[in-house]
C-alpha cells in the first residue's frame, strides 16, 4: 500500500475513534459561542438555506 493510502486509513481510524468518544491524538475541537447565520448568508449572497 502506498504512503498516501496508509495515511488515509490512519486518519479514518482516528476520526472513528474520535466519533466514538475515545481519546485520540491530533484532534482539537473549537466550538463557537454563537453563529450569526444571517451575517454569513449575507456575506455569501444567499437569502435562503441551500
Domain boundaries defined on the chain:
3-43
- Report in angstroms the alpha-carbon separations of 15 from 2, 25, 29, 32: 20, 10, 12, 21
pTM, entire model: 0.49
CA distance 41 to 36: 9
CA distance 8 to 10: 5
What secondary structure letter does DSSP report for 36? -
pLDDT in tens, 2-49: 999 999 999 899 888 888 888 767 777 788 899 998 888 888 887 776
Amino acid at each position: 500500500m502506498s504512503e498516501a493510502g496508509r495515511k488515509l486509513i490512519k486518519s479514518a481510524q482516528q476520526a472513528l475513534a474520535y466519533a466514538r468518544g475515545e481519546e485520540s491524538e491530533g484532534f482539537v475541537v473549537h466550538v463557537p459561542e454563537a453563529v450569526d447565520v444571517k451575517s454569513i448568508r449575507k456575506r455569501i449572497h444567499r437569502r435562503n438555506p441551500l
